Structure 1
Amino acid sequence: MSYIDTFYRRTIADNYAFPASSGTTECDTCIIGGGLAGITTALQLVRAGQAVVILEARRIGWGASGRNGGIVSPGYANGGDAIERAVGTENARKLHALSIEGMRFLRDTIDELTITSAAPTPGIMSVLRYNNGESLRSRADYLQREFDYSVEYMSRDQVQGVLRSERYFQGLRDPQAFHIHPLNYLRALAQEIERLGGRIFEGSPALSVDLGGAEKVVRTARGEIKARRIVVTTGGYTAGLIPKIKRSFLPIATYVMMTEQAPDLIHQAIATTDAVSDNRRAGDYYRVVEDGKRLLWGGRITTKAASSAALAKELRREMVSTYPQLADLKIETSWSGLMSYARHLMPQIGQLRPDVWYCTAFGGHGLNTTAIGGKVIAEAILGQSDRYELFKPFGLVWAGGPVGLSVAQLTYWKLQAQDWWRERSST
């Protein structure tokens, strides 16, 4: 199975294919899912000398892991205040520190393995679409005081000096955060896992699993994996292999478009290599790619699969309403991907039963949280730490099924209306 048509597939560094599973393979740990979480977990385990097998139903990074906006920054899908209400001040602080660690782990991995094809580019700007600079100053002070983490406050004039749009007010620039080519990053890690002795099987969906004994057995169409333990790291495309995991999150679609080459026109509007996101719930995020030749723009969510071309028209209208000077900029391709969201908007990281682990539901903040999720699961398996227990309050709660999807869509529309009114009040 090939990758869908995205900017990342068009600029893939190599198209090396891993074989399909056949016969019987024995290992210490079998990881089901070859996305960001599974690959990170596997890398840590093989580095520690474990025999690891990854089963991927399609291709490494085929789902949202290889289709996302490529932005790597601290934080979670849920807000800091909500997290603090759930776990208390100290554990909320520890969780945020983990998200910073995940971001730095990813950056360090790129440097250690010299993954030039990931094209890491520093700088993320988070901008307001209404006037409230004091909230950003307070946030910057908090990050510096609590985490020794420096971000740069930007006045409206500074923001509009590089983002030539009347829609934006103040912003925070994070010079430590960065953006990457996620598919090339994933594929480079997969090849490192194989180099260290790990086994990766593509085109090998797990069809059944026997978790009852000390030896776990996962069956594919032409083979079986016998392992001491299982780690489930599937996301928005999860099938019903383990019903409790599938029922615990909702598949939510998000959309991305890529423009034609027009570097001079794009630079008239966006004079920065920083990635940009706005403060709205499921707001816009975008960045220039290919040395400024193209613009990659994402946003919108739906709870039912929709035409990516139709949603790209909405994204384009949003782009032009933000930057009228880009009215003549054409869209070359668009795509979508299914993310997994839990009801509590936090990653689900933990142990289902002895030697059966899960690491999923990253809800649009996957590049840093999958990194730390995979790392803490590997630490637990290796007996190095119990840091995964920080996520215990955010367990496998039922997401509500079809009703949950309807509620999620209604909530999104409500938040859009609130965003619209807040922006209107600032004009």
Structure 2
Amino acid sequence: MRDYPNTYYSATRLPASERPPLRGAATADVCVIGGGLAGLSTAWELIRLGRSVVLLEARCVGWGASGRNGGFVLQGWSEGLRAIEKRCGLDHARALFGLSVEGVGIVRDTLAKHALPGCNPTAGKLSVTRYEAADQLQRHRDRMARHYGYDFTYVDRPTLRGLLKSDLYFQALRDPVGFHFHPLNYCLGLAGLIERAGGRLFEGTAMTGLHRNAKPGAEARWRVDTADGSVACRDVVMCGGGYGGREFGPLHRAFLPIATYVVLTERLGDRLSDFVATTDAVGDDRRSSDYYRVVDGDRLLWGGRITTRDEQDEKRLAALLRRDMSAVFPGLADVRIEKAWSGLMGYARHKMPHIARVEDGLWSCSSFGGHGMNTAPIGGRVVAEAITGESDRIRLFAPYRLTWNGGIFGPPAADLVYAGLRLMDAWQESRSRRQGA
């Protein structure tokens, strides 16, 4: 029996047969650990490059953050480009940004080429400001076109307020290339492609141990142990996200599980146009942003807040996010919340993913920090290319290696950082309102 959490996506997912757990010994060129988007993307890219693959998933395909997120597929990384430039230089930042755009293209092309059902891709994303930022946004638009060859559309205040009828919003940049979709159905569709191409997927199969073959020159350099079986393979790719446990060793010690929350409203009917008159996805510029989009024609899927505590009380989640929603659209203060859920993302301290060769034959493709629907697919491609010798693009991630997450001090430190960022947001927004008064 599948045990997906009670989300909008699990309620609207396409039927899929359950995959049995691994029992006995299996062999493959590569064993991929984790059946989220990173693991599925890595497996698919490896199969396309001629490698045999066994994928192990502790629960079921897309069970974690990959199947319960906002559904945004956008350019960029969780770390901002200015910070990447500061660490790596402009040319290196351009190359990394290009990979992020390629990741968007991977998802779009896979949807189109294979006609994956139930994904409902919808183009467009508005990045809105909650303070006066006309000059700032236009400078950013011009800089992105000049240095990165990427075109945003500037949206002024009157136009924006015709689309999003809130006094809190000032201006926006529109990304016409990004899109939003049903992430769980995409994961399920990708799993089907992998299996039809000969890949083997095992659900309900957690890795319990990882052992290097001590025999020099052995074809199978690694053995991955599970409760009832094992996989002998030449390479292992660790793709555990926010739900990865201690069995992931150095990867587990390098990221923090960070929670975010999502709710689904009742059907709003014609009432929706009083607040939202666009099919674009929306995200604001705050450090702990609100993000939302229209689903099923007249519902809002609304997400936000970041914490190291994985809140599970659905009533409390519904109340918290309804309050955030009504702060933006006061007329929705009485809206009924039909579903509320949380999800854990893997965050590195440097806010970039861990796409790396950990040691000979052991690779990581993880820690996408809430920006994984484009970066996990390109991460999977880059790792697959490194394993097969197709490219050395993995070197672009060398400045972002596995770093200690702070251990027991990591979560409280992260909470303090986010609290400070929220105070900065509040100060910036209140100053803009005073200046506009």
| Same fold per superposition (TM over 0.5) | yes
Q: Any idea what the Cα deviations from partners look like across 1:108-132, whole Å, max 9, x if unmatched?
A: 1111111131110000000000001
Q: Distance in 1 between matches of 2:249 and 2:10?
A: 32
Once the two structures are TM-superposed, the CA of residue 9 in structure 1 deviates from its matched residue by: 0.4
Q: Secondary structure at the match of 1:241?
A: helix
- Cα RMSD of the aligned pairs, angstroms, is 1.0
Q: Secondary structure at the match of 1:359?
A: strand
Alignment of 1:7-406 (within 5 A): 7-213=8-214, 214=218, 215=220, 216-291=222-297, 293-309=298-314, 310-406=316-412
Indicate conservation of the 8 Å contact 1:255/1:312, yes or no.
no
Q: Percent identical across equivalent pairs? A: 47
Q: Any idea what the Cα deviations from partners look like across 1:197-228, whole Å, max 9, x if unmatched?
A: 00000000001111244421111111111111
Amino acid at match of 1:281: R
Amino acid at match of 1:204: T
Name 1:410's counterpart in structure 2. 416
Q: Distance in 1 between matches of 2:371 and 2:241?
A: 13
Once the two structures are TM-superposed, the CA of residue 391 in structure 1 deviates from its matched residue by: 0.7
Which deviates more, 270-279 or 145-154?
145-154
Q: Distance in 2 between matches of 1:358 and 1:149?
A: 29
Amino acid at match of 2:241: G
Indicate conservation of the 8 Å contact 2:35/2:57, yes or no.
yes
TM-score norm. by structure 1 comes to 0.98
Q: How many residues align?
A: 426
Once the two structures are TM-superposed, the CA of residue 308 in structure 1 deviates from its matched residue by: 4.4
Amino acid at match of 2:317: L
Once the two structures are TM-superposed, the CA of residue 237 in structure 1 deviates from its matched residue by: 0.6
Q: Any idea what the Cα deviations from partners look like across 1:143-193, whole Å, max 9, x if unmatched?
A: 222233221100011110110000000000111100010000000000000
Amino acid at match of 2:67: G
Indicate conservation of the 8 Å contact 1:55/1:201, yes or no.
yes
Which deviates more, 163-172 or 210-219?
210-219
Q: Any idea what the Cα deviations from partners look like across 1:322-345, whole Å, max 9, x if unmatched?
A: 001212211011000110100111
Q: Distance in 1 between matches of 2:52 and 2:310?
A: 38
Indicate conservation of the 8 Å contact 1:308/1:336, yes or no.
no
Q: Distance in 2 between matches of 1:307 and 1:423?
A: 30
Q: Distance in 1 between matches of 2:108 and 2:244?
A: 28
Amino acid at match of 2:44: L
Amino acid at match of 2:371: H
Indicate conservation of the 8 Å contact 1:258/1:334, yes or no.
yes
TM-score norm. by structure 2 comes to 0.96
Once the two structures are TM-superposed, the CA of residue 51 in structure 1 deviates from its matched residue by: 0.8
Indicate conservation of the 8 Å contact 1:18/1:201, yes or no.
yes
CA 121–382 in structure 1, closer or farther in 2 if over 3 Å, else same: same
Q: Distance in 2 between matches of 1:354 and 1:196?
A: 27
Once the two structures are TM-superposed, the CA of residue 42 in structure 1 deviates from its matched residue by: 0.5
Indicate conservation of the 8 Å contact 1:254/1:337, yes or no.
yes
Indicate conservation of the 8 Å contact 1:70/1:181, yes or no.
yes
Indicate conservation of the 8 Å contact 2:317/2:341, yes or no.
no
